[in-house]
Amino acid sequence: MFKEYTVEQVVKESRTIKSFYLSPKDGMQVPSYLAGQFVNIKVKPDGSDKELVRSYTLSDKPGATYLRLTVKREEYGKVSAYLHEVITVGGTLLVSDPMGDFHLSVNNQNPLVLISGGVGITPMLSMAEYVFDRQPERQIYFIHSSLNRNVQPMLDRLQYLKTTSNNFKLVIFHSDPLEEELVDIDYDYRGFITQERLPLIGNAEYMVCGPVAFMETVFSFLSEFEIAEDKIHFEFFQSPKTVESKQPIKQGASNGIKVTLVKSQKTLFWQEGAGTLLELVESAGLQPDNSCRMGTCATCQTKLLGGSFQYEPEPFMEPEEGNILICCAIPTSNVEIDL
Ligand SMILES: Cc1cc2nc3c(=O)[nH]c(=O)nc-3n(C[C@H](O)[C@H](O)[C@H](O)COP(=O)(O)OP(=O)(O)OC[C@H]3O[C@@H](n4cnc5c(N)ncnc54)[C@H](O)[C@@H]3O)c2cc1C
Ligand code: FES
């Protein structure tokens, strides 16, 4: 369910990133959440014929009197552009309850290795702030990679955590630093993250978030270290297919597995190559709600009224009882869905 929030403050964090501080319009307390979780927001940018839903991580520690979203302006992005260019203090946003499985485990004091690229820093900020505040004895290695100072968010805050806590280790990579940037002040290492700079700690939890290629690289480094897979946690912000899948896949088959869209009173046919149910439905000109397109955000969950399906790929979360995540589902028999 979405609730109205007022935008209390907007802070420019870098050339491409802004933070939005939100409080519930009804004066109620902000919902509780775990460090690393996200919310969905629903907006209707000017010129868009429908409401769009996108996910944004709560980037400050749980327990604050506000929710903070820290959003990168994507070059051709509809919602991030709307937030950056249209939404100002006093504006209203529709915000869901917090959700997501990528969060800090607070029941132990195991060391944390937070590895992020670009705006993938947002869940790490929340986790770092929580640990700094509530688990000061816990060791944190905060490793972040970005292009240069122009796009690096929150460096002052991170340096404050580093100088205030002996347990907070900070390593900043800038792949293409500006000429005036200084080593040890603006960044620690030039270039991309390298394996030898990652700490190898037996009982640590590794949390990783960033662009897909970044995560693949980090995962291969950690695997070579033989870190157990259950100690490595990932959050994907965007499916590798997001841009290409905006193109309809294979249109207008007249036979195959029957997919009945009950509300729209349409019948489509799914064949090998038609992609997921979401892609099939889009190829017929419909625009169901979706955001991550990889089973992370639950935006696309739709009631399954009949038939069977399988997930390909396996989603990162479970939808509500009786629903399926159509961004990851392909039908295995004739199906009816509530669209
Ligand atoms: C769990 C989760 C947490 C997230 N947390 C954050 C967060 O904390 N901060 C954050 O900034 N983001 C976060 N995201 C990503 C966010 O949800 C959006 O995906 C992101 O803001 C882009 O949305 P958009 O509407 O601006 O872009 P869209 O309009 O959805 O476009 C998606 C991408 O396609 C590109 N694109 C679109 N059209 C074209 C075109 N014609 N040609 C070339 N490229 C094109 C855009 O540049 C963009 O990169 C998170 C995502 C998930 C799933
Ligand atoms: S669009 Fe995010 S779970 Fe399907």
Which pLDDT tens digit goes with each residue over 299-324? 899 999 999 999 998 888 889 999 99
The helix/strand/coil state of 8 is strand
Work out the mean pLDDT of the chain and round it to a whole number.
Answer: 92
The helix/strand/coil state of 152 is coil
Query: Which residue has better confidence, 48 or 194?
Result: 194
Q: Please confirm whether the linkage preceding 199 is cis (ω < 30° from 0).
A: no
Location of each CATH 2.40.30.10 domain in the chain: 3-95
State the average pLDDT over residues 64-70.
97
Ligand 1: does its nearest atom lie under 6 Å from the Cβ of 56?
yes
CA of 294 to the centre of ligand 2 (A): 6
Topology classification of domain 244-337: Ubiquitin-like (UB roll) (3.10.20)
Tell me how far apart the alpha carbons of residues 122 and 260 are, in angstroms, rounded to a whole number.
39
Location of each CATH 3.40.50.80 domain in the chain: 112-235
Q: Is the pLDDT of residue 30 over 70?
A: yes
Q: Is the pLDDT of residue 48 over 90?
A: no
Ligand 1: does its nearest atom lie under 6 Å from the Cβ of 125?
no
Question: Tokens 């929340």, residue?
Answer: 126
The string of DSSP letters for 103-135 reads ----S----EEEEEEGGGHHHHHHHHHHHHHH-
Quick one: which of 332, 281, 326 has its CA closest to 304?
A: 326
Pocket test for ligand 2, best of 239, 281, 293, 324 (most atoms within 8 A of CB): 293
- Is domain 112-235 given the CATH code 3.40.50.80 in the classification? yes
pLDDT digit string, tens, across residues 125-144: 999 999 999 999 999 999 99
Location of each CATH 3.10.20.30 domain in the chain: 244-337
The pTM of this model reads 0.89
| Residue 243: pLDDT band with limits 50, 70, 90 | very low
Residue-wise over 290-303: b if at least 16 C-beta within 10 A, else e? bbbbbbbbbbbbbb
Tell me how far apart the alpha carbons of residues 101 and 314 are, in angstroms, rounded to a whole number.
14
CATH ID of 3-95, from 3.20.20.60, 1.10.238.10, 2.40.30.10, 3.40.50.2000: 2.40.30.10
pLDDT of amino acid 252: 62
Ligand 1: does its nearest atom lie under 6 Å from the Cβ of 58?
no
Query: Which residue has better confidence, 75 or 251?
Result: 75
Q: Is the pLDDT of residue 250 over 70?
A: no
